[in-house]
């Protein structure tokens, strides 16, 4: 390949130094080998001569070399102008999205000219996706992929089309001329890289920085077109940085200030458009501030200018309290302290690059995050806050400002008793980690800090646990096993264990250090959401508390803690099983009360699915309960209990799930244990689980007590009456239960309240059936089995290990009718037995008593009874009306006068109301205000 001297523009950045295109000595051999093959007859002196003249002709205000030449000529011919720094300057930074098209560049220009600051410095990124395109050019050239030429043509076309839409006349011609020169230079450089099959870091960073040059030039031309004095700055002429060993750069502020003063004296414009992302080394070699470096550029320039404020323009309204893609209730934060923004950035929040904060902190320059597409939004201000300030002149209600997460991590645990008291163990561990180049995100054993680590606290003296990116974990684990092979063989170390599929959840707030109970609240919220914590950390400054959780639990954990601290709505995903009489009534009650619960109590109950025995209705966001019956008939699908549960529980945006079983089905009840184990709360009026086989009941209750998953079943005994909660209150406060006696069946209460005087038993049963008080088959009520189940439930609550078979109920179904084929036949034959019932009623009335069907829990004698019994007319059980239930608690405290609970004990409304009450109790347990 023969390259003419006119095809490559030498620059002051990278391959040539500043003085009239003189080659940097260190790069002469590289230049010759890459650009000028042995067949080339050009001498170095001819290159200098030709290029110096072309620089003056063609780079009047375009590229890097021009800034040097222009400065040289101005220094020799013009008087130095002092340009002041300080509060008269405001700094704006616009990212690639903000300048991603000609319309957006015009919008940016309007924002700039409408800013009433006396002087303005504007830092711009490359147009959207251009930096990625430039990196792609390098990769294609290194891979000897000829398509780099067409890819470069796409870059040219993108900027040509944008310029033609923005500019006209001489401004357009001048920009296009410079653009084509740059493209030709890049083409020659990429061709050389193609031949060599390798690009040095300097060449790479020189290539990828061109996008900023072009966007800055176009924007400055648009502003000049509006009639404003505007210059553009190639920050490689001003910003000097020193590369570090950690793929970062450190600004050289003294040298950068010196160069800035020189640049300003030669360019005293009121508006300066500066390139972001790019800079130079002290040897004038072009470099970058690495990925996401444009924000860093703006902060550095803000510090150099001592600016009043740095505004970072982006495409969101500000900094959210949590990632809004994961937490729909996340809110915009009006203010953040420097430390809070730093912590949230470190832990993955889309705020700023963590290093952006450092330059402005020195001069207390605030950073404001604003939305370029929504100028009415005030944004988020990052500044130095007093300890009790929230930015609105009010005291903060919560010590926590926000939450951030890092995914795709793995924990490594190095453990062994031989570590205790042995100096240098931690050093050896992290030395091995450093040797493989891994990035340690957190450590849970030591209490020290450095620039590369976020260090966590722990009490163990014989283990070190730390998190690294999952892609690096295998190399780290192998390095540690190699380094400690002898200690592992000797047993001084027991293991180097890897825990994959982890995520970090960081809780950030300035006031956490001075507010007691923050950690307890955080861990309580996670526990109630059934989140298992793998590791915990809290630094001495207490600006953050960090926990490691399973990756699959991360979003649920984030939602749970955000809801708890941020007073957002307590959101619960609900699945309703059995939309029959009770379930349907419950859904109607939820429909009528949903708006009030959201507005007054911050409770958001979302029914994600309804299933019956034949079909089910599912929703991703929550069903419209005003038309759930219509939706079920039109959009219902075949019922599948497993699919139903997976759908309701699988919504990662909602941390809490509850299944409400409104059936009387033992098959549904048999799933309670597995659901609780998965972290699903259960609420039910179904008595089958708590009155079923004793071993299964004990297993279920043991699981409930061991976890923070809730199982509420108030409606299993007294419909809407507080029977279970009253009993628990007595037991938990230390009272001793002697006996519980009551009328537990609303159906049988109604029957015996009406069975008086001359009325026949069959007549009253028929009336109860017609009124809807009985089951479709009245024998289900008259058998006493339902009452026996309630007695078993209460007996087990009292600690009695009784089976249902231990309490044979006195059946009210005549023996000959128990095997009757149908309910209709039973009702037809029931009058045949009215005479026997009449005798029982007469005997009771003759004694001044009434008949009542009761259940008894005899705790003293550890037994239960279900029977028909007579009571004096002045007894509380004789005072009932309708379908009321009544339960009497005789205890050590209430021995002389038992504690009575009385009220409606049957009917869909009261039973559904009891279930609804349990739902609200669950919401309270999960963090809703009481």
pLDDT of residue 542: 67
The CATH number for 225's domain is 3.40.1160.10
Does 665 map to a domain? yes
Does 392 map to a domain? no
Task: Note whether 740 and 778 are same-domain residues.
Answer: yes
pLDDT of residue 424: 77
Task: Note whether 137 and 190 are same-domain residues.
Answer: yes
Q: Is 790 among the residues known to form the active site? A: yes
The CATH number for 890's domain is 3.30.360.10
pLDDT of residue 423: 74
Does 398 map to a domain? no
Domain boundary among 538, 564, 590: 564
Task: Note whether 574 and 554 are same-domain residues.
Answer: no
Q: Which of 70, 93, 326, 790 is catalytic?
A: 790
Does 186 map to a domain? yes
Does 390 map to a domain? no
Does 912 map to a domain? no
Which residue ranges of the chain lie beneath pLDDT 50? 1-78, 390-396, 446-461
Maximum Cα–Cα distance across the chain = 134
Does 731 map to a domain? yes
Task: Note whether 771 and 855 are same-domain residues.
Answer: yes
Task: Note whether 157 and 77 are same-domain residues.
Answer: yes
Among left, alpha and beta (phi > 0; psi -120 to 50; other), residue 602 is: left
Q: What angle do CA 227, 239, 450 make, to 5 degrees?
A: 135
Among left, alpha and beta (phi > 0; psi -120 to 50; other), residue 482 is: alpha
Domain boundary among 515, 530, 564: 564
Does 95 map to a domain? yes
Task: Note whether 109 and 242 are same-domain residues.
Answer: yes
Task: Note whether 459 and 579 are same-domain residues.
Answer: no
- Helices (H) and strands (E) in the chain — how many of each? 33, 30
The CATH number for 667's domain is 3.40.50.720
Task: Note whether 347 and 479 are same-domain residues.
Answer: no
Number of domains into which the chain is organized: 4
pLDDT of residue 853: 96
The CATH number for 409's domain is 3.30.2130.10
Task: Note whether 418 and 487 are same-domain residues.
Answer: yes
For residue 423, what are the domain limits?
404-564
| Residue 462: partners with Cβ closer than 8 Å, 6 or more residues away | 415, 416, 417, 418, 419, 420
Task: Note whether 552 and 576 are same-domain residues.
Answer: no
In sign, the C-alpha dihedral spanning 710, 716, 722, 728 is negative
Run of H or E residues at 562: helix 554-566
> Per-residue DSSP letters for 146-198?
TTHHHHHHHHHHHHHHHHHHH--HHHHHHHHHHHHHHHHHHHHHHHHHHHHT-
Q: 3-state class of 320 per DSSP?
A: strand
Task: Note whether 582 and 689 are same-domain residues.
Answer: yes
| Residue 531: partners with Cβ closer than 8 Å, 6 or more residues away | 549, 553, 556, 557, 560
Count the neighbouring beta carbons within 10 Å of the beta carbon of residue 512.
Answer: 22
Task: Note whether 845 and 761 are same-domain residues.
Answer: yes
Domain boundary among 526, 542, 564: 564
| Residue 208: partners with Cβ closer than 8 Å, 6 or more residues away | 131, 134, 135, 138, 288
């Amino acid at each position: 390949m023969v390259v003419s001297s006119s095809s490559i523009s030498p620059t002051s950045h990278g391959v040539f130094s500043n003085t009239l295109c003189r080659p940097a000595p260190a790069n002469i051999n590289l230049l010759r080998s890459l650009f000028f093959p042995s067949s080339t007859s050009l001498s170095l002196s001819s290159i200098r001569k030709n290029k110096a003249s072309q620089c003056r002709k063609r780079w009047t205000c375009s590229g890097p070399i021009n800034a040097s030449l222009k400065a040289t000529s101005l220094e020799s011919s013009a008087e130095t102008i002092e340009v002041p720094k300080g509060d008269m300057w405001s700094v704006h930074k616009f990212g690639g999205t903000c300048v991603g098209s000609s319309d957006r560049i015009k919008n940016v220009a309007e924002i700039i000219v409408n800013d009433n600051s006396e002087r303005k410095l504007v830092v711009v990124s490359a147009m959207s996706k251009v930096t990625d395109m430039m990196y792609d050019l390098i990769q294609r050239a290194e891979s000897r992929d000829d398509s780099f030429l067409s890819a470069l043509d796409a870059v040219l076309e993108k900027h040509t089309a944008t310029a033609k839409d923005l500019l006209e006349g001489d401004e357009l011609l001048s920009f296009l001329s410079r653009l084509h020169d740059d493209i030709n230079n890049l083409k020659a450089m990429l061709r050389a890289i193609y031949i060599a099959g390798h690009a040095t870091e300097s060449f790479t960073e020189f290539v990828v920085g061109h996008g900023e040059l072009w966007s800055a030039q176009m924007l400055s031309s648009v502003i000049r077109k509006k009639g404003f004095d505007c210059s553009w700055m190639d920050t490689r002429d001003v910003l000097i940085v020193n590369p570090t060993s950690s793929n970062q750069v450190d600004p050289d502020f003294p040298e950068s200030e010196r160069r800035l003063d020189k640049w300003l004296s030669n360019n005293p414009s009121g508006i300066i458009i500066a390139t972001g992302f790019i800079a130079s080394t002290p040897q004038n070699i072009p470099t970058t501030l690495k990925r996401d470096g444009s924000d860093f550029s703006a902060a550095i320039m803000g510090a150099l200018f001592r600016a009043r404020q740095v505004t970072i323009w982006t495409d969101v309204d500000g900094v959210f309290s949590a990632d809004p893609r994961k937490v729909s209730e996340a809110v915009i934060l009006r203010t953040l302290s420097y430390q809070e923004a730093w912590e949230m950035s470190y832990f993955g929040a889309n705020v700023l690059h963590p290093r952006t904060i450092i330059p402005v902190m020195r001069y207390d320059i605030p950073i404001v995050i604003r939305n370029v597409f929504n100028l009415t939004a005030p944004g988020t201000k990052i500044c130095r806050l007093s300890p009790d300030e929230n930015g609105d002149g009010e005291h903060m209600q919560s010590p926590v400002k926000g939450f951030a997460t890092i995914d795709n991590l793995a924990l490594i645990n190095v453990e062994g008793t031989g570590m205790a008291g042995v100096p240098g163990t931690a050093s050896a561990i992290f030395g091995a980690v450093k040797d493989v180049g891994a990035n340690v995100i957190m450590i849970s054993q030591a209490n020290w800090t450095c620039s590369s680590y976020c260090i966590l606290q722990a009490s163990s003296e014989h283990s070190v646990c730390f998190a690294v990116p999952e892609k690096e974990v295998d190399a780290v684990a192998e390095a540690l096993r190699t380094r400690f092979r002898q200690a592992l063989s000797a047993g001084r170390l027991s293991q180097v264990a890897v825990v994959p599929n982890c995520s970090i959840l960081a809780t950030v707030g300035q006031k956490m250090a001075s507010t007691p109970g923050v950690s307890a609240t955080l861990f309580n919220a996670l526990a109630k959401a059934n989140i298992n914590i793998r590791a915990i950390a809290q630094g001495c400054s207490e600006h953050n508390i960090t926990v490691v959780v399973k990756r699959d639990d991360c979003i649920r954990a984030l939602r749970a803690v955000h809801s708890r601290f941020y007073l957002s709505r307590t959101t619960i995903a609900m699945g309703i099983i059995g939309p029959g009489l009770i379930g349907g009534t419950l859904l109607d009650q939820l429909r009528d009360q949903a708006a009030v619960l959201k507005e007054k109590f911050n409770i958001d109950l979302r029914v994600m699915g309804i299933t019956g025995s034949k079909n089910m209705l599912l929703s991703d966001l929550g069903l419209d309960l005003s038309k759930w019956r219509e939706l079920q008939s039109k959009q219902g699908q075949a019922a599948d209990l497993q699919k139903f549960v997976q759908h309701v529980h699988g919504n990662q945006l909602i941390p809490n799930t509850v299944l409400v079983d409104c059936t009387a089905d033992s098959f549904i009840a048999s799933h309670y244990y597995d659901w609780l184990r998965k972290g699903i709360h259960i609420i039910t009026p179904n008595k089958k689980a708590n009155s079923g086989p004793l071993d299964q009941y004990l297993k279920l209750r043991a699981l409930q007590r061991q976890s923070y998953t809730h199982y509420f079943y108030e409606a299993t005994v007294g419909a809407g009456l507080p029977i279970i909660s009253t009993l628990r209150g007595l037991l938990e406060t230390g009272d001793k239960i002697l006996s519980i006696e009551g009328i537990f069946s609303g159906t049988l209460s109604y029957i015996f309240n009406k069975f008086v005087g001359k009325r026949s038993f069959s007549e009253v049963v028929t009336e109860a059936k017609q009124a809807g008080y009985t089951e479709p088959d009245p024998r289900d009520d008259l058998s006493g089995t339902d009452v026996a189940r309630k007695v078993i439930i209460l007996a087990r609550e009292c600690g009695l290990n009784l089976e249902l078979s231990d309490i044979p109920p006195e059946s009210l179904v005549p023996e000959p009718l128990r095997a009757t084929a149908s309910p209709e036949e039973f009702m037809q034959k029931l009058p045949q037995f009215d005479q026997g019932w009449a005798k029982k009623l007469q005997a009771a009335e003759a004694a001044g008593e009434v008949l009542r069907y009761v259940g008894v829990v005899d705790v003293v004698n550890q037994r239960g009874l279900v029977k028909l019994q007579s009571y004096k007319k002045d007894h509380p059980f004789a005072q009932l009306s309708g379908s009321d239930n009544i339960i009497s608690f005789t205890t050590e405290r209430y021995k002389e006068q038992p504690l009575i609970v009385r009220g409606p004990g049957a009917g869909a409304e009261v039973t559904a109301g009891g279930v609804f009450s349990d739902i609200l109790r669950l919401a309270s347990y999960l963090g809703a205000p009481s």
